[in-house]
Amino acid sequence: QVQLAESGGGLVQPGGSLRLSCAASVSIFSIDAMGWYRQAPGKERELVARIFGGGSTNYADSVKGRFTISRDNAKNTMYLQMNSLKPEDTAVYYCNADYSLVRYWGQGTQVTVSS
């Protein structure tokens, strides 16, 4: 079983930056893929970015060029660097991990972009 703990959310002004972290309870060497999703009020949860064991990544079109997903294997932690934030990025951000054919989710961290 994998436990995931997100951190780094908060309130930021439009154009600002935040870095989210997702700490895993197991070595992320053993995790096939990890990702960030978000859910805004009244909307479905949507993919933001994913990173695979080999290091390849993919992003939602809405965040390409602004967000960067990465992982630090030594710290068993995944990150999401978010730059040029917009009000429409406001949501609860969740990390997930695909491990032994099971998808695990963190509890989420709130990101609010507002002036």
Q: Coil, strand or helix: which one is 28?
A: helix
| φ, ψ at 88 (rounded to 5°) | -75, -5
Residue 111: pLDDT over 90: yes
Residue 28: pLDDT over 90: no
Give the pLDDT confidence score for residue 100 in this predicted structure. Answer: 86
Edge-to-edge strands of the sheet including 67-72?
4-7, 18-24, 77-82, 67-72
Q: What is the mean pLDDT of residues 68-90?
A: 96
Where residue 30 falls among pLDDT bands split at 50, 70, 90? confident
* CA separation, residue 30 to residues 1, 23, 65, 107 (Å): 12, 14, 28, 21
**Long-range residue pairs from 57-64, CB within 8 A, at least 24 positions apart, any chain:** 62/88, 63/89
pLDDT in tens, 34-50: 999 999 999 999 999 99
CA torsion through residues 30, 55, 109, 46, sign? negative
Q: What is the mean pLDDT of residues 68-89?
A: 96
Helix (H) or strand (E) holding 25: none
State how far the Cα of 33 lies from the Cα of 71, in Å rounded to an integer: 11
Give the pLDDT confidence score for residue 110 in this predicted structure. Answer: 98
Share of residues in the chain with pLDDT > 70 (%): 100
